[in-house]
Amino acid sequence: MDYINDFISFVREQYNTDKFIPLHEPRFRGNEKAYLLDTIDSTFVSSVGAYVDEFERMMEQFTGVSKAVAVVNGTASLQVSLRLAGVSEGDEVITQALTFIATANAIVYNNAAPIFLDVDLDTMGLSPQAVRNFLEEFGELREDGCYNRFSGKRIAACMPMHTFGFPVHLDELIAVCNKWQIPVVEDAAESLGSYYKGKHTGTIGLVGGVSFNGNKTITSGGGGVIISNNLDLGVQAKYLTTTAKRPHPYEFFHDEMGYNFRMPNLNAAVACAQMEMLDTFLADKRMLAEQYSRFFKGLGVNFRTETTDTKANYWLMCVELNDTNERDKFLKISNENGIMTRPIWTLMTRLPMYQHCQKDQQKNAEFLEQRIINIPSSVR
């Protein structure tokens, strides 16, 4: 464990400070203030404005999708994405237990129930083999889709999460889900700037959701976006998230239950300025990841890097330690010395509101839960 003091010195050298170093803080080095002032001067500070339209256009251009719809946060993007995929009351959604709670919550917001399956060790994301094993044991194809023989409920979607920006094995996962007629909704909340076989995450499944929370690679304070190459679904997403109001110059008529999930123009102004800096931020984070990789090499510590055929955004960088004792010592010493580190999330299956949900053995998820630590990953 002698390397921890060297790690502390290394991190301070990277960020050139003796002060507290957070896990991931935003950087505002572009046109954020200018665009905010422009928004205020325009008086269009709420959910209608030029910056909302521009942000959606920028996201479409960056990710290569047919339609991007800006919303109030990443959780809302996932909630609506699941509804667009056909998830409704009483359904079930396959996902992973090793995730941030928004993944599971978005399922329940649709009055559906999560099924928690294991992750792969290399991606830390939903395992295609775990999904295949589960469906071969419990799946039943009927005229209107796949059903769970254990619960009798329809399995309406599968939602993998690209953990810390590392893409899951999408080709294999989608192949399994296609066989069982289950649409894939990508939780790309953490993976803006990550690619799988040359395609941006969130664009490969039916629909995807991205987050712009304050701790993400770029931020709009709050905010999220729904992305899809299905233009009809994109149009429906815009309609649902703007209260399902039929267009009219002055009359209000709503013909479906929608959501007031619109991103305010103020947030979109910040998002536009941040998008202008995205390539620079991603390049800096990649350089930092390379330096971390060199530092940990030979120390018996596995610094997590991207897998074959992927390009990760290195949103939150992480190391895999040898056991729980080493993890806890690393956390204690680093945080006591002003270097913020944190363990990976508690598995959803351990939380009181989700511990009753159907799950598999979670062998890999439990292994990673005991060993993964996030380390400072801010743009320098």
pLDDT tens digit string along 71-87? 999 999 999 999 999 99
Other beta carbons less than 10 A from residue 28's beta carbon? 12
Residues 156 and 7 in one domain: no
Same domain, 194 and 267: yes
Specify if 352 maps to a domain: no
DSSP 205: S
Is residue 105 domain-resident? yes
Residues 109, 119 within the same domain:
yes
Q: Is the per-residue pLDDT at 18 higher than 80?
A: yes
Residue 321 domain flag: yes
Tell whether the model's pLDDT for residue 1 goes beyond 80.
no
61 lies in which domain range? 32-276
257 phi, psi to nearest 5 deg: -75, 110
Do 137 and 266 belong together in one domain? yes
pLDDT band at 236 (very low <50, low <70, confident <90, very high): very high
The domain that contains 211 carries what CATH number?
A: 3.40.640.10
Token code pair at residue 335: 């945080």
Looking at the fold, whether 163 and 56 belong to one and the same domain comes out as yes
- Do residues 241 and 296 both lie within one domain? no
265 vs 267: CA distance, rounded Å: 5
132 and 70 in one domain? yes
Q: For position 148, what pLDDT does the model report?
A: 98
Same domain flag for 66 and 164: yes
| Residues paired with residue 139 on neighbouring β-strands, in sequence order | 148
Mean pLDDT across the chain, nearest whole number? 97
- Per-residue pLDDT tens for 23-77? 999 999 999 999 999 999 999 999 899 999 999 999 999 999 999 999 999 999 9
Contact, 262 vs 71, CB < 8 A? yes
CA distance 253 to 279: 42
Residue 309, both tokens: 């055929």
* Domain shared by 98 and 216, yes or no: yes
First CA to last CA distance, the chain: 26
Please state the domain count of the chain. 2
- Calculate the CA 351 to chain-centre distance: 20
Element (H, E) at 294: helix 265-296
Same domain, residue pair 124 and 150: yes
Say if residue 112's pLDDT is above 90: yes
| Interatomic CA distance for residues 280 and 193, integer angstroms | 11
Sorted by sequence, the CB contacts under 8 Å of residue 101 that are 6+ apart come out as: 345, 348, 351
My answer on whether 230 and 256 are in the same domain is yes
Indicate the pairing of strand 195-196 with strand 310-311. antiparallel
Of 276, 292, 310, the one marking the end of a domain is 276
Answer whether residue 256 is part of any domain.
Answer: yes
Q: How do strand 342-343 and strand 372-375 relate by DSSP bridges? A: antiparallel
* 42 and 140 belong to one structural domain: yes
Q: Tell me which residue has tokens 């589960």.
A: 134
Domain assignment present for residue 357? The answer is no
Cα–Cα dist 206/237, whole Å: 13
